[in-house]
Structure 1
Amino acid sequence: MAGIQGFVQRSGQVWNRYRGVAAGVAVSVAMSGCGVVNNMIYKTTGDVMQGFAKSHTIPYVLESNDLSMSCAMSQATSPLLMSFGRVTDEPDQLAVMLYLTSGGCIDEQAREYELDSLMAMRALRAEEAEDAMIRQKRAHALAAERYFLGWQHHNAYYGHPDQSECPDFDDDMDEFIYMAGLLSGLQALNAEIQSTSSIGVPKNVGSTVSRATSCLNNDKWWGAPMALRATVWAMIPGALPQGENAFERLNAADLQGEEAGVRLSHVFHALAAMNKGDDEMLRDVIRRHAESLDATPSNEDWNMVDSMATQMIVAISDRMWVENTGHRTPFGKLGTFWDDRPEATEVMNLDDLL
């Protein structure tokens, strides 16, 4: 009997051990199943969010003219939306828009720091001016990093322009995001140069972007592709093709942008004029922009793009005003300058009334 009891006792102990193992296996399988289900939910959510953002969020934002709201949205939601790349396809197209916009937000901060520096120098406050310049360079460096991320996502989705043919665009938004990616690449190089640091932006981005603009329909996109190409021609030595005139091309693009109510070409024209050191041309571009705003309202579908162009033109005007007067462009006076001659007023001859 004692032997039988020992056998039963040992058998019970073995069963208890196996039952523990079985329970552990069951829990593991259940947890694994939960993980699979969760991943499926995350993937579905990511796909839905990406699709919704491209089909609705981006068009909605592009119809708005509230640049501050656009900045807040892009900077606040970028980590959330980009994190879906961990559970589904990388949101490359969405990333182009997010990083281009968020890079522009930091660039705007850099321009504010530059104005602070200029005003401090006018007031002979050397330490304050230097501190503002340091903040400006830091901001440009961060902007360059964001722009460069946008350029890398552009190349991941469409293929690097130097290594692939023009893509087959699915729709207008697809083509617009392609153009936004080219702009992001050019801005990355520009911001890196202004930061006086190096974050690894290839120095041939300008020529690469210039060639890639030929994939875009110039008439559809308000003359901006040609304006971008002509700006590269004007700014990079040896880039101008034989028989071309960069500034004639820019003037033609300006007319297209003004008629369409999307004046992005004015920004490119102003940058080319600044690079050339042609103050009169720069003033003329700013005047044209201000006059065009009065004559033609912004295109409702691309309100944000036109507002961004105006913001950058105002920033250029502000810099000129601060350098010469110590304050920004007076409110409501875009297109005017501190040394403009007063308009002649008609003088009534009182002798005629006698």
Structure 2
Amino acid sequence: MTLILGALLSGCSMVNHMMYKTTGDVMQGFSREHTIPYLMASGDLAMGCAMSEATAPLLMSFGRVTSEPDQLAIMLYLSAGGCAEEQGREHELAALAAFYESDGNAAEDAMIRQKRAYALASRRYLKSWEHHNAFYGEPGTGECPDFDDDLDEFVYLAGLLSGLQALNSEIQSTSSIGVPKNVGTVVGRATSCLENDKWWGAPMALRATVWAMMPGALPEGEDAFERLAMADRQGEEAGVRLSHVFHAIAAINKGDEARVKAVIRQHAESLEARPANEDWAFVDAMATSMIVAVSDRMWVENTGHRTPLGQLGTFWDDQQKEVETMDLDDLL
């Protein structure tokens, strides 16, 4: 009787395992074929953020019963890292506003919250980077992956971005998260596996940003900011302006405020001139969100408040245009 009961329980366990495995495989396939493309075509960053934070534990748990969902994890942890980074930026703005008002205690508290948020962002981005390497192999080694389709290539690009973001967030957190310090160089080399024209100039923009920021990384005869300007034009024409973000980051690193302002103005003008690419509206919206964040930081530092609504591309020190007035006495 005991043997029969044991066999029945063992059989139930096996059936459950097969059911879980099948469910996990279906969920992974559906997410890749439908959820990610659907999300990329939307421009709702908050929705994407909420989805990644809410579903990552569920979807990643299927790795216990079937193959590890490495490719899906790249996108989940990249997006979840962006959620934490957004919180960090909000705390940074609060700190800057407090500094502007000479409220030292509020500024210090906001800075502590900022560092905590960036530490979380770095850990999430690092997970994305690790899953990227598990799925595609160690990047920058000289051999490129065999991509199955366009989405496969895009996720590869997203993984490269997660590597750089992990390092940047670790620096912002002033903590030791364990991000490899050579990740910038590795990412710069790995971008050569992607077609620059196909991906809105982003691979070259990413590579040029590494050149601009890493001492000794600039190849002889190259100009990082010329390359970034070229990538900007490609992104604007494609309606996916991710290169503007890289350009702004490189300019900030050089302390070139005039160039940062010019990139923000250029982004704002491009938004007026060309709508977002329908298939990649989420990426374009993400780029705009990050450009607004750069603008907000500058505004708060100088005025105590963010970029005024509807005035992205303008600055507190712009010369006010003289308003022409009509002499009404002549009309009487």
TM-score interval, smaller chain: over 0.9
Is 1:248 matched up with 2:248?
no
Match of 1:262 among 237, 240, 243: 240
Matched with 1:179 is 157
Q: Find the aligned partners of 1:138 and 1:351 in 2 and give their Cα distance.
A: 64
1:111-157 deviation per Cα after TM superposition (whole angstroms, max 9, x unaligned): 00001111111112111111100000000000000000000000000
Q: Which amino acid aligns with 2:42?
A: S
Matched with 1:310 is 288
Q: Find the aligned partners of 2:151 and 2:203 in 1 and give their Cα distance.
A: 15
Which structure 1 segments of 5+ residues have no match? Answer: 1-22
Q: Sort the Cα spacing of 1:105 and 1:141 in 2 relative to 1 into closer, same or farther, 3 A.
A: same
Is 1:60 matched up with 2:34?
no
Q: Find the aligned partners of 2:165 and 2:114 in 1 and give their Cα distance.
A: 16
Q: Which amino acid aligns with 2:50?
A: A
Q: Find the aligned partners of 2:61 and 2:266 in 1 and give their Cα distance.
A: 43
Matched with 1:188 is 166
Q: CA deviation at 1:164?
A: 6.0
Residues 1-354 of structure 1: matches in 2 within 5 Å? 23-163=1-141, 165-348=143-326
Q: Find the aligned partners of 1:43 and 1:251 in 2 and give their Cα distance.
A: 48
Q: Which amino acid aligns with 1:258?
A: E
Q: Find the aligned partners of 1:153 and 1:177 in 2 and give their Cα distance.
A: 11
1:214-234 deviation per Cα after TM superposition (whole angstroms, max 9, x unaligned): 000100100000000000000
Q: Find the aligned partners of 2:250 and 2:178 in 1 and give their Cα distance.
A: 24
Give the fraction of aligned pairs with identical amino acids, expressed as a percent: 71
SS at match of 1:290: helix
Q: Find the aligned partners of 2:312 and 2:207 in 1 and give their Cα distance.
A: 27
1:160-211 deviation per Cα after TM superposition (whole angstroms, max 9, x unaligned): 0144610010000000000000000000000001100111101000000000
Q: Find the aligned partners of 2:329 and 2:23 in 1 and give their Cα distance.
A: 83
The 8 Å contact of residues 140 and 187 in structure 2, kept in 1 or not, is answered as no
Question: How many pairs are equivalent?
Answer: 332
Q: Find the aligned partners of 1:81 and 1:351 in 2 and give their Cα distance.
A: 74
Q: CA deviation at 1:351?
A: 9.7
Q: CA deviation at 1:323?
A: 0.4
Q: CA deviation at 1:92?
A: 0.3
Q: Find the aligned partners of 1:185 and 1:349 in 2 and give their Cα distance.
A: 62
Q: Which amino acid aligns with 2:71?
A: Q
- Over the aligned positions, Cα root-mean-square deviation in angstroms equals 1.3
SS at match of 2:57: helix
TM-score w.r.t. structure 2 length? 0.98
Q: Which amino acid aligns with 2:299?
A: W
Which structure 2 segments of 5+ residues have no match? Answer: none
1:17-42 deviation per Cα after TM superposition (whole angstroms, max 9, x unaligned): xxxxxx11101000000111111100
- Spell out structure 1 runs of 4+ moving beyond 6 A: 349-354
Q: Which amino acid aligns with 1:118?
A: L
Q: Find the aligned partners of 2:211 and 2:142 in 1 and give their Cα distance.
A: 22
TM-score w.r.t. structure 1 length? 0.92
Q: Find the aligned partners of 1:24 and 1:234 in 2 and give their Cα distance.
A: 71
Q: Which amino acid aligns with 2:271?
A: L
Matched with 1:7 is none
Higher relative contact order (CA 8 A, sep 6+): 2
